[in-house]
Amino acid sequence: MNLRKKVFECYNAFVGLLELFQKKKRYEGRVVDLQEKYRVSEKTSYDGVPTVYYDILKHGSKERVGKTDLRLSIDGDMYYYGHIGYNISPAYRGNHYAYEACLLLFEIARAEFGLNELIITCSPENTASYKTLTRLGGELVEKVEVPKGHPLYTVGETTKYIFRYKISL
């Protein structure tokens, strides 16, 4: 494990301790809410990308159904990851929670960070994510081959669909 990654893990552990003492923002949606977990700046991120991490909770409860993150920059190799990543716990899949979380993230990205366009990607074999991204109404920009040596390629993600979402007012 490289030193930068180890430092990042230590930082995340420290942030976890801080959460015990800090009240984080909660964004309410119709079906799910997003509870901010922590923010990573460009300087403290292991990949140099400022990111905000959230838990996805059933609306009005503390029941965690998944997690998501909003990357505030996607220059270069980050294009293959996109601005938004999400994971719904297996027991909660099939309820459109990722879709609802993305709708909230669109609002947050526009209102808090001034973004007017987002990129979200998925692998062609991930049918559930493809359906979510289509349902969100984005434009399928392209199907791309992930460059050999890219971190996604090394874990078997060799192709990505790239969707673009206009979120300006």
Residue 9 parent element (H or E): helix 3-19
pLDDT of residue 64: 98
End-to-end CA distance of the chain: 44
Name, in order, each residue with C-beta under 8 angstroms of 89's C-beta and a sequence gap of 6 or more. 64, 65, 66
Q: Are 66 and 90 within 8 A, CB to CB?
A: no
pLDDT of residue 127: 96
pLDDT of residue 19: 47
pLDDT of residue 1: 54
Helix axes 97-113, 127-135, angle to 10 degrees: 50
Q: Are 163 and 138 within 8 A, CB to CB?
A: yes
To the nearest 10°, report the CA torsion of 145, 147, 151, 155.
50
pLDDT of residue 11: 63
- Which of 75, 133, 73 lies closest to 99 in space, CA to CA? 133
pLDDT of residue 2: 66
pLDDT of residue 7: 60
- Which of 76, 145, 132, 79 lies closest to 106 in space, CA to CA? 132
Mean pLDDT by 10 residues, the chain (169 residues): 62 56 82 95 80 97 98 91 97 98 98 96 97 97 96 95 91
pLDDT of residue 20: 47
Q: Which domains does the chain have, with CATH numbers?
A: 3-166 (3.40.630.30)
